[in-house]
Structure 1
Amino acid sequence: MTVKEFRLPDVGEGVAEGELVSWLVAPGDRVEEDQPVAEVETDKALVEVPSSYDGVVEELFVEEGEVVPVGDVIISFRVGGADGASADAESGDTKPTDAEPDDSEPTSVEAESGSPSRRTFAPPSVRRLARELGVDLSAVDGSGPGGRVDERDVREHADAEGSDPDEDDATDPKPVEMDTGDRKSAVSKRGSAEGAGATTAAEPGSGPEPAGRDRTLSTPATRKLANDLGVDLDDVPTDETREGEAFVAEEHVRAYAEASARPDDEAAPPAGEGGSGVETEPTPADPATDAPGETIPYRGVRRTIGERMEQSKFTAPHVTHHDTAEVDALVAARERLKPRAAEVGVKLTYLPFVMKAVLAGLREYPILNSELREEAEEIVLKDEYHFGVAVATDAGLMVPVIEDVDEKGLFELAAEVSDLASRARDRSLAPEELRGSTFTLTNFGAIGGEYATPIINYPETAVLGLGAVEKRPVVRERSGDGTGHEVVPASTLPLSLSIDHRVVDGAVAAEFANVVMDHLEEPLLLLNE
């Protein structure tokens, strides 16, 4: 038997340290290679750190909440002998892990049976499923390229061996159980009160009907939130799926917990509804998590956001242009298209229309789709249209990027915005999905408000803020004889355009806003975009 030390690997490009958010194992636990042992938050993402060894946890060297430099020892394992399998790594060496585990890149292990030269290729999610179903991956015939084993292969093998607990539904896709099972956080294993009640479901009649699924996909942050709120993820209603399997995000957990605490006559609105904003997917962070008198660490994603905001504000002289579009025709057009979008599984918000209107404005005034390179003393006019969409998350503001807006239709944009915003909130975005934007949109109207002075997503030169779409009084010429004016209610969309005044003149900003408003007020013009 040998004790192997495991050091915090490089969990992302340019990352020097990470906060150990939670342990997923405790001393004495048996682990397998590639099994997640800890959750670590960096300034880029929340990631699961997998073990490099098969063995037994010997000691945890870092407390939850502690910031650890890359390369420091965080855990040790007993490997080899009677207590663990032999290690396949050199002593002291660790395997690098990506900032976001990519299930599309399979790993491989030597088969434990059959020909010694045979290797089994499978991504981490498939390995987890195999462990949960008690399936030996080396005995599974992979149907993918090069013999790659996928989840269907594992389930079919489990069904054939009689190891699937739901034999009557063996032909149905079954989601991977990420939130229950033998693997628990170290806090739960130590018998804490929070862990003891972590899977308590809501009382009947006290809220929405539980979904009662057998398994549910979720992220580590969502599982932790569910434990904190005493929610069973299998009971949380959701319409979202990942690869055809039920997926629960943090906002679903909060909505379910809040609804469960209400009397029956105070049911929560459906997910994604409520409010009269532009209805983009971004939602505010939960203020209830911050208690008066509490000290909140300024690090990780929050510190990165602060540094970038400071850089933008103190580098680019900001000027904000405000205007309001009358969007009765846009509201009517969206209502006509919503049923068609629903038929293909898309929730159509106003944001795709706004993106197409902005695209028209940028084509006419490309200076707003630019970057100032001070050292080279040049302004680069971008020839691609990659739009960042600001998303409020518990960790702070994140800006996933919708690429090639000029090449996509309304429904495609709506689906992509929904997907990226959801994954921004559950911290499962890949780093490259947060880079490369040429123009940014932020929707503060979704949480209330008309106008703001948004900060530019540096090094871009402009950002457009959207207020809430609401009925407001407007003055129009009286119909008929044209002898006067009248005040009438109309659907309006307030716009707040911040520009880098070194690059964009105020007059150009106003002309750009006029083009955007023209396309929002007459949606048929969007057919050209």
Structure 2
Amino acid sequence: MVREFKLPDVGEGLTEAEIVSWLVEVGDAVSEDQPVAEVETDKAVVEVPAPVNGTVREILAEEGEMVPVGEVIITFDVEGEPVEPADEGESEPADPGDADPAASEASGPAASTDGESDGEVSAKGGRVFAAPSARRLARELGVDIETVPGSGPGGRVTEGDVRAAAESGGEPAGTETADEEPEPAVRSATRKVTDEAESEADAKPAPADAHPGGAPEAAGRDRTLAAPATRQVAQEEGIDINDVPTDEIRDGEPFVDAEQVRSYAEAQRVAQEADAAAVRQESAAVDATAETPPDTETTAEGEVERRPYRGIRRTIGKAMENSKYTAPHVTHHDTVVVEDLVDTRARLKPKAEERGIKLTYMPFVVKAIVAALKEHPILNSQLNEDEEEILVKRYHNIGIAVATDAGLMVPVVKDADGKGMLTIASEVNELAAKARDRSISREEMQGGTFSITNFGAIGGEYATPIINYPETGILGLGELKQRPVVEDGEVVAKWTLPISLSIDHRVIDGADAAQFANTLMEYLSNPELLLLE
């Protein structure tokens, strides 16, 4: 049975999402909850899990394509259910009980009872084993991909096959003539066998080590005897116990033990990894010779390059626009001398490293902000415009902006007031790493009450940070370095840290911002005060 899978709402009120990458290909076996695709949503890339145990039948969305929520993006052949024929014109299969053994052997050991091998495709139609990039190229070149023989692993149709078919004027390269021996049908990547093994196959499936060049054939029995522990192993390995080859017979029925299950599962994994490696190598070779040129245009003023404004970049833009045009921003600037902070961090850094934690200045800033927010809680608030009330929050979730290749993301350290310095340091490092490799979840970027952005890590002293709406305040940190400071009438070099505090002026007055900044600077200039918090 074919199961359609529609793009779910992986965010809050999401209407569309971009398919970042497919983690499976046509013909791959999948288990329920196994990630099959990466989808870009609001400030994060999330994995979409398979809803069933089965085999990927068709991928219906391209990588980089914007897909509306509710649209079918992939279909599966469900395990244990008959595969629906792709071509309605095909004749009904004969009763397997009446099948001629010789004919069954000639069709290959993996042939299914509905006349179509699992994962197979013929040059006359049926399911096509091809990557989305090859399908896209076929559409661009006007090639019917169902007529293109595949030369890739497991009979996969590659971009090279599509180009060859296009260059031959629509007659796919390698198409057999009337007096040529037709090529065998394409086999599933996980069930391919050598030509020699096919010719020697008999009614009894060969043991797992009989096919050193590829994955062993699936037995495809209707009934198998096995101990409950063995069946548990098969379930853990994601293997149909009726597919495990065996020569042992008990009470007139095939018998399988746990070791045979593990051996078969390992052979399947090795074959799949080999196929995947070959595909990656082939794709890399194609990409090296046929990289997609940038979308450029020559205007009256000169050449311009067009880049899509979507995904995370568009989400960030809309959030910034909403914040800037909703909350009237006012920014308070100041500079704090942090000689003691620099010395304290230098003394504690080796101790933190002994515990496997990288100690930056950020945990000190987080703790100082929490201490200042407790004294000036109006900055830890939100304006509820619908109810016309200000929500002053008594918990402290501090968002920390992280620059990534996809744009600015803001992971949140939850309940920062109840955590120690090293715990905050560890969380900040972990969240920043997850944001940069796009593995961070939506939950880890939600619920902030106040945010920090450290533009000084790149350079610069002051800025006007945009509030992470609906919060009402954000602190920008400039570059920490030695600057000239007047002390007792003398100009001396001191470690200083510029700060830029943006506030929502509907909720926070300028005096509140200045008082908060003064308290914050007191904690940063005397970090020992944090021990009292």
Q: TM-score, normalised by structure 2?
A: 0.61
Q: Identity rate of aligned residues, in percent?
A: 57
- 1:445-468: CA deviation from partner (whole Å, max 9, x where unpaired): 111111110011111111100111
* Contact 1:26/1:189, CA 8 A, preserved across alignment: no
SS of match in other structure, 1:502 = coil
Distance 1:164 1:339 in 2: 47
Q: Which amino acid aligns with 2:285?
A: A
**Could you tell me how far 1:13 is from its partner in structure 2?**
3.6
Mapped pair 1:510 → 2:514: yes
Q: Which amino acid aligns with 2:497?
A: L
User: Which of these residues, 412, 415, 434, is aligned with residue 401 of structure 1?
Assistant: 412
Distance 2:349 2:515 in 1: 31
Mapped pair 1:71 → 2:70: yes
* Contact 1:22/1:185, CA 8 A, preserved across alignment: no
Distance 2:274 2:70 in 1: 29
**Could you tell me how far 1:326 is from its partner in structure 2?**
0.7
Distance 1:161 1:3 in 2: 29
- 1:115-145: CA deviation from partner (whole Å, max 9, x where unpaired): 59x87899xxxx7xx57xx998xx9xxxxxx
**Could you tell me how far 1:489 is from its partner in structure 2?**
1.0
SS of match in other structure, 1:181 = helix
Mapped pair 1:374 → 2:385: yes
User: Which of these residues, 522, 525, 528, is aligned with residue 529 of structure 2?
Assistant: 525
* Contact 2:11/2:42, CA 8 A, preserved across alignment: no
User: Which residue is 1:12 aligned to?
Assistant: 11
**Could you tell me how far 1:163 is from its partner in structure 2?**
9.6
User: Which residue is 2:285 aligned to?
Assistant: 193
User: Which of these residues, 489, 497, 501, is aligned with residue 493 of structure 2?
Assistant: 489
Distance 1:84 1:521 in 2: 69
Change (3 A) 1:369 1:37: closer
* Contact 1:369/1:438, CA 8 A, preserved across alignment: yes
**Could you tell me how far 1:33 is from its partner in structure 2?**
4.1
Unaligned runs of 5+ in 2: 83-111, 120-223, 245-257, 293-302
Distance 1:488 1:448 in 2: 22
**Could you tell me how far 1:365 is from its partner in structure 2?**
1.3
**Could you tell me how far 1:396 is from its partner in structure 2?**
1.7
Change (3 A) 1:164 1:382: same
User: Which residue is 2:61 aligned to?
Assistant: 62
Distance 1:112 1:377 in 2: 69
Mapped pair 1:342 → 2:353: yes
SS of match in other structure, 1:27 = coil
User: Which residue is 2:42 aligned to?
Assistant: 43
Q: TM-score, normalised by structure 1?
A: 0.61
**Could you tell me how far 1:496 is from its partner in structure 2?**
0.4
* Contact 2:454/2:477, CA 8 A, preserved across alignment: yes
User: Which residue is 2:430 aligned to?
Assistant: 419
Change (3 A) 1:47 1:437: closer
**Could you tell me how far 1:428 is from its partner in structure 2?**
2.0
Q: Which amino acid aligns with 1:518?
A: E
Change (3 A) 1:316 1:13: closer
* Contact 1:24/1:184, CA 8 A, preserved across alignment: no
Q: How does 1:96-495 map to 2 (within 5 A)?
A: 114-115=227-228, 130=237, 181-182=273-274, 184=276, 188=280, 191-193=283-285, 293-477=304-488, 485-495=489-499
User: Which residue is 1:269 aligned to?
Assistant: none
* Contact 2:45/2:440, CA 8 A, preserved across alignment: no
- 1:173-210: CA deviation from partner (whole Å, max 9, x where unpaired): xxxx9xx935749974864526789xxxxxxxxxxxxx
Aligned residues: 364
Q: Which amino acid aligns with 2:454?
A: N
Distance 2:419 2:283 in 1: 52
**Could you tell me how far 1:321 is from its partner in structure 2?**
0.7
- 1:297-340: CA deviation from partner (whole Å, max 9, x where unpaired): 22222222212111111111111111111111110000000111
Distance 2:521 2:27 in 1: 64
Q: Which has the higher contact order (CA 8 A, sep 6+)?
A: 1
Distance 2:494 2:397 in 1: 32
Unaligned runs of 5+ in 1: 86-110, 140-156, 166-176, 198-227, 229-291, 478-484
* Contact 2:22/2:37, CA 8 A, preserved across alignment: yes
Distance 1:419 1:53 in 2: 32
